[in-house]
């Protein structure tokens, strides 16, 4: 009799859960272009035309539901490490050359595209395909994008875990580095040593969370800005950090005669953000790891390398299924 009642209780719970899931759709969400999108049923076939949304889909455990992916997926280390099957998916192109016909031919239930592809989104929707436009240009917008995708796909529990991890590390960094001296940090761009991110960019938040001060904070532009050697020497940063995908090296900077009097060069405090898995100095879900790594560089006495490496491994093991330190 007890087994009978236990079975009935289990069936009741399953029916309740199924009913709750059915009631969740149709649902209407507002994407990051301000468009209202009504999704009639849980999407089972997804296409991502943007590497950041693809990374989010993997972290939310939705990579098995993907039917198409952005161009050059085979060049992204994070896919090789966490979901190598994605590299064999059909490409739908890039923001510059989007394959509208190819995307439609995949008959997806939901397509996620960058804001630049608004016209393509309208065309796909005229064909009866739901599209979300995303624009994760800073930490707040990234969080909004994660919530948007999670709501549309029914992955809200996974999204909460992902965002809770970031919030926990932000709190740890804030408390650990609250009384630390804040060294000045110059973040150099991918294509040029004399390109940097001002105060309104995502990268400036990374420096702040790591217990530093952006040497270029006076720049108000919301994009990478070119400067002169004279300007960089006037700022005289204590640290120079190269972007993950920089086309030049730490050795190039240390050997640059124009910078021989710069504090960072004199002290040897020139580093490059890791790029083994993905670029942490961009608004990807793992972006908090850029601040974790930089905190160890700036404050090794307060935020140890052991702590840094453990957090990085925990993140990738939890959300991407591989151990970073073993690759």
pLDDT, tens digit (0-9, with 9 covering 90-100), for 286-324: 999 999 999 999 999 999 999 999 999 999 999 999 999
Stretch among 11-15, 45-49, 275-279 having the lowest mean pLDDT? 11-15
pLDDT band at residue 200 using 50, 70 and 90 as cut-offs: confident
Q: What is the mean pLDDT of the chain?
A: 92
pLDDT band at residue 23 using 50, 70 and 90 as cut-offs: very low
Listed in sequence order, the residues at least 6 apart from 302 whose beta carbon sits closer than 8 Å to its beta carbon are 176, 177, 180, 211, 295
pLDDT band at residue 3 using 50, 70 and 90 as cut-offs: very low
Using the predicted structure, report yes or no on whether residue 17 has a pLDDT greater than 60: no
Helices (H), 106-180: 118-126, 139-153, 156-176
User: At 184, is the secondary structure helix, strand, or coil?
Assistant: strand
pLDDT for 249 equals: 97
Q: Which residue has the higher pLDDT, 318 or 9?
A: 318
pLDDT band at residue 59 using 50, 70 and 90 as cut-offs: very high
pLDDT in tens, 63-102: 999 999 999 999 999 999 999 999 999 999 998 999 999 9
Using the predicted structure, report yes or no on whether residue 9 has a pLDDT greater than 60: no
Helix axis angle for 202-209 and 288-298, nearest 10°, is 50
Average pLDDT score over residue span 9-18:
41
Rounded CA-CA distance 241/318 in Å is 28
pLDDT for 257 equals: 97
pLDDT for 283 equals: 86
pLDDT band at residue 149 using 50, 70 and 90 as cut-offs: very high
Q: Which long-range contacts (CB under 8 A, 24 or more apart) does 18-21 make?
A: 21/154
Distances (CA, A) of 103 to 15, 57, 113, 127: 36, 17, 11, 11
Listed in sequence order, the residues at least 6 apart from 62 whose beta carbon sits closer than 8 Å to its beta carbon are 46, 153, 155
């Amino acid at each position: 009799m007890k087994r009978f009642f236990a079975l009935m209780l289990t069936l009741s719970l399953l029916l309740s859960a199924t009913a709750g899931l059915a009631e969740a759709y149709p649902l209407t969400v507002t994407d990051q272009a301000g468009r209202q999108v009504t999704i009639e049923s849980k999407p089972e076939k997804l296409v991502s035309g943007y590497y950041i949304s693809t990374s989010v889909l993997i972290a939310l455990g939705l990579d098995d539901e993907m039917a198409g992916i952005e161009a050059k997926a085979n060049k992204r280390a994070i896919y090789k490490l966490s979901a190598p099957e994605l590299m064999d998916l059909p490409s739908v192109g890039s923001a510059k050359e989007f394959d509208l016909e190819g995307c439609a031919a995949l008959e997806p239930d939901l397509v996620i595209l960058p804001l630049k592809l608004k016209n393509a989104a309208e065309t796909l929707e005229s064909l009866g395909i739901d599209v979300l436009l995303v624009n994760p240009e800073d930490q707040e917008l990234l969080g909004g994008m994660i919530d948007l995708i999670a709501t549309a796909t029914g992955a809200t529990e996974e999204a909460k875990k992902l965002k809770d991890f970031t919030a926990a590390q932000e709190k740890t960094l804030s408390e650990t580095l609250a009384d630390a001296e804040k060294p000045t940090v110059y973040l150099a761009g991918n294509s040029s040593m004399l390109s940097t991110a001002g105060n309104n960019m995502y990268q400036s938040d990374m420096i702040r969370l790591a217990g530093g001060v952006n040497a270029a904070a006076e720049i108000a532009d919301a994009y990478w800005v070119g400067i002169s050697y004279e300007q960089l020497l006037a700022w005289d940063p204590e640290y120079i950090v190269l972007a993950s995908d920089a086309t030049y090296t730490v050795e190039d900077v240390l050997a640059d005669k124009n910078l021989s009097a710069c504090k960072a060069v004199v002290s040897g405090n020139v580093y490059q953000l890791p790029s083994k898995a993905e670029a942490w100095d961009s608004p990807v879900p793992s972006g908090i790891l850029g601040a974790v790594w930089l905190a160890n560089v700036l404050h090794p006495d307060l935020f140890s390398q052991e702590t840094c490496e453990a957090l990085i491994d925990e993140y990738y093991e939890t959300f991407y299924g591989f151990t970073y330190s073993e690759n």
